[in-house]
Structure 1
Amino acid sequence: MQVEGPVTAHRNRAFDLFRIIFALLVLWAHSYEMDPTQPQTNVFQRLHLGMDWGTFAVDGFFLLSGYLIVQSWVRDPRLGDYLRKRLLRIVPGYLVAVALSVLVVGIFAPLVPHFFRDSFHAARFWTSIALLGSPLGAGGFPGNDNNLVNGSLWTITYEFRCYLVVALLGVAGLTRRRGLWLGLFVVFFALSLSPAAQAHLSWTHLMLLTGKPSDIYRLFPVFLLGGCFALYRKEILFRPAFAILAAISLCTLPYLTHRTEPWFVLCGGYLLFYLARQPLAIFHRWQRMPDVSYGTYLYGWPVQSFAIWLFHPRYYWSFPVTALICVVLGWLSWHFVERPALKLKPGPKVELPAS
């Protein structure tokens, strides 16, 4: 998962660091989820919070994405330029990752008969790619618990849908009328707290375009909250006392309401943006690092699946090895795919991290 950097000469490197941390947390979550000998438990489940590290990381991505994409629209609300920027940022890396995933799996997974034929002749394969989702062709890793070629890409389609919603709301003027944006967040946040309301307001006939209602109710309010932090960034008070209060609430509210993720997003979102504002030395040291988070995320699933399918390593071996490989692939993706695409963007140029 990747989010757009702000078009400014003063790019906040904290966001770059947070993104690579979130990408690695997704790899960590998948490493034990794909290990058939590992009990499907993690620190969240041991605390009876009903989440995992992958959920935590994806929510972090969508928070940052909501903040930066709304900020980008406010700075340059021209629809054509906005859509071109979004496409150039997310599509080239995605398409290259899909092509390499399918090619490598098809060549080096000989136990799957007619892999290319069954994939390329399937309408759902091309439809899933057109929608920027996980490629739905022939399974590539027989014997694995989940044999999708690249299962992590399901979040990309929801993120791009959020980009389109920003364009729609921006054209409608909601980014200029912040109270309406805040009200929309409150409505969706309330729905995220009520499974009964979600079930009542569910749908099936438009899922090809909108995605699953359960995923919309989960991810859209997270993105909207990130947008609220962008639109109200001058009014929100970031104080140590409030950060401590948010941390205490983070530890207590999920147990009081039995709804973990929305409160983690709300309280954790404040802590995330509070930390991003702090003049920490590690943020300054990150100035010259390339943004490898998108590529790390894009290649994480196939690399981990391939390692588990071939060698059946335990999760404490598969994570560090695949993390190293994916960071290298992320570096290559940045320098040879993403960075060249960013140079084609119209208007003010995004500050590109040096290698």
Structure 2
Amino acid sequence: MPSKYVLQADFLTARPLSEVLGRENGFGLLRLLLAISVILAHANPLGMGTSDLGADWSHGQTGLGAVAVAGFFVLSGLLITRSGMRLSTARFLWSRAIRILPGLWACLLLTAFVLAPAVARHEHLLDGFWSHPQGPWEYVRANWSIGVNQWSISGLLAHNPHAGSFNGSIWSLAYEALCYVVVAALAATGLLHRARWVVLGTVAVLYGYTVHLALDYPQLRAPGYAPTGLPDWRLPLLGIINMDMLIPLGLLFGLGAVAELYKTHIRMNGIAALVAFGILVGAVRFGGYLVIGIPALAYLLLWIAAFTPRPLTRIGTKVDLSYGVYIYAFPIQ
């Protein structure tokens, strides 16, 4: 009986995020579930040539895959900001590099020299496969630095709804890495510790611009990557950065960063989490996903991470499979 009342008190009482989000949390579980959600989302377009799972239900605002990527960026914003405040800039960048690059390189090699030849044989296009100007060697060379500069290999998968792409999942890595660079710069200049309002102000500007974009759509049904009209950036190593994608992804990452920087001020409450869930579902279905759905998603994920049952908090603590599931799922599918 006492434990029941304790659980009720935890659910109803508003407590600071810094107090409820300890070392035992649900980040590992959430990342794995989000990665699996991306697999499910890819199943429809890759297997049947239809739209992303949930895209029609949301009236084109978003889909399961896009929501999963959004969740990744929120969680990453919190965890990467925490890491940036704790580590030296050099160690922070090194830890990020060894987290992403070896797995990416292994995936590129497997895709180019195992999966692509198998596809070429299946499509009876082995002749010229190795000498093609966009062959497997060029695929690895073009994509080794995170930025995607070549999607196809030797003209294969022309029937693919993603226009010959062997790995559509890795598009988001350049945006993630750019966020890492921003955090490193803020940490190196001391702004993360001494002027956290800079991060809050930047997120507020991004959110205001996002609202501005959504106002042009009936019932605020703006797509998750609403056209901005802003020119793309071409950055060293990261390749082309599309502003239509950078704005919402930067906002999502920023929401996670703000949660970490202001964790003593943000209150977590079970009733608020239920309200956030209702807002998220309602916004996805009826409109306003960019305006109210994204903040609701961020709050809901943080609440789940804080109150994940203890046995489930062990998922991902020793071996985090989410990154591998994410980058390998598309070529395997």
Over residues 235-276 of structure 1, what are the superposed CA-to-partner deviations in whole Å (9 max), with x where a residue is unaligned?
Answer: 1110123223322332445577x4424532210110111111
1:292–1:41 CA distance, 2 compared to 1 (3 A): closer
Show the counterpart of 1:193.
211
Listed as ranges, the gaps of 5+ residues in structure 1 are 1-9, 305-355
Deviation at 1:227, TM superposition (A): 0.5
Residue 65 of structure 2 is aligned to residue 65 of structure 1: no
Show the counterpart of 1:278.
307
Name which of 296, 307, 327 aligns with 1:267: 296
How many Å separate the matches in 2 of 1:168 and 1:288?
Answer: 28
TM-score normalized by the length of structure 2: 0.78
Show the counterpart of 2:322.
293
1:267–1:303 CA distance, 2 compared to 1 (3 A): same
Show the counterpart of 2:184.
167
Deviation at 1:159, TM superposition (A): 0.8
Deviation at 1:94, TM superposition (A): 0.5
Name which of 40, 45, 49 aligns with 1:33: 45
Name which of 118, 129, 136 aligns with 1:115: 129
Contact 1:247–1:271 (8 Å) recurs in 2: yes
Show the counterpart of 2:86.
75
Percentage of matched positions with identical amino acids: 26
Q: Secondary structure at the match of 1:206?
A: strand
Deviation at 1:217, TM superposition (A): 1.1
Contact 1:134–1:150 (8 Å) recurs in 2: no
Listed as ranges, the gaps of 5+ residues in structure 2 are 1-21, 217-225
How many Å separate the matches in 2 of 1:292 and 1:205?
Answer: 31
1:34–1:231 CA distance, 2 compared to 1 (3 A): same
Show the counterpart of 1:310.
none
Residue 260 of structure 2 is aligned to residue 230 of structure 1: yes
Name which of 127, 137, 144 aligns with 2:142: 127
Show the counterpart of 1:53.
64
Q: What letter matches 1:303 in structure 2?
A: I
Show the counterpart of 1:218.
248
Once structures 1 and 2 are overlaid, which stretch shifts more, 171-180 or 109-118? 109-118
How many Å separate the matches in 2 of 1:243 and 1:148?
Answer: 38
Equivalenced residue count is: 292
1:230–1:210 CA distance, 2 compared to 1 (3 A): farther
Where do residues 3-18 of structure 1 align in structure 2 (5 Å cutoff)? 11-18=23-30
Q: What letter matches 2:77 in structure 1?
A: G
Residue 191 of structure 2 is aligned to residue 179 of structure 1: no
Deviation at 1:175, TM superposition (A): 1.1
Q: Secondary structure at the match of 2:31?
A: helix
Of Structure 1 and Structure 2, the greater helix share is in: 1
Deviation at 1:178, TM superposition (A): 1.6
How many Å separate the matches in 2 of 1:241 and 1:182?
Answer: 25
1:264–1:283 CA distance, 2 compared to 1 (3 A): same
Show the counterpart of 2:221.
none
Contact 1:63–1:222 (8 Å) recurs in 2: yes
Contact 2:35–2:325 (8 Å) recurs in 1: yes
How many Å separate the matches in 2 of 1:287 and 1:235?
Answer: 28
How many Å separate the matches in 2 of 1:11 and 1:134?
Answer: 39
Contact 1:135–1:150 (8 Å) recurs in 2: no
Q: CA RMSD in A?
A: 2.8
How many Å separate the matches in 2 of 1:18 and 1:273?
Answer: 10
1:210–1:232 CA distance, 2 compared to 1 (3 A): farther
Deviation at 1:105, TM superposition (A): 2.7
Over residues 282-305 of structure 1, what are the superposed CA-to-partner deviations in whole Å (9 max), with x where a residue is unaligned?
Answer: 42453776211111111101110x
How many Å separate the matches in 2 of 1:200 and 1:151?
Answer: 22
Contact 1:161–1:210 (8 Å) recurs in 2: no
Once structures 1 and 2 are overlaid, which stretch shifts more, 238-247 or 43-52? 43-52
Residue 216 of structure 2 is aligned to residue 206 of structure 1: no
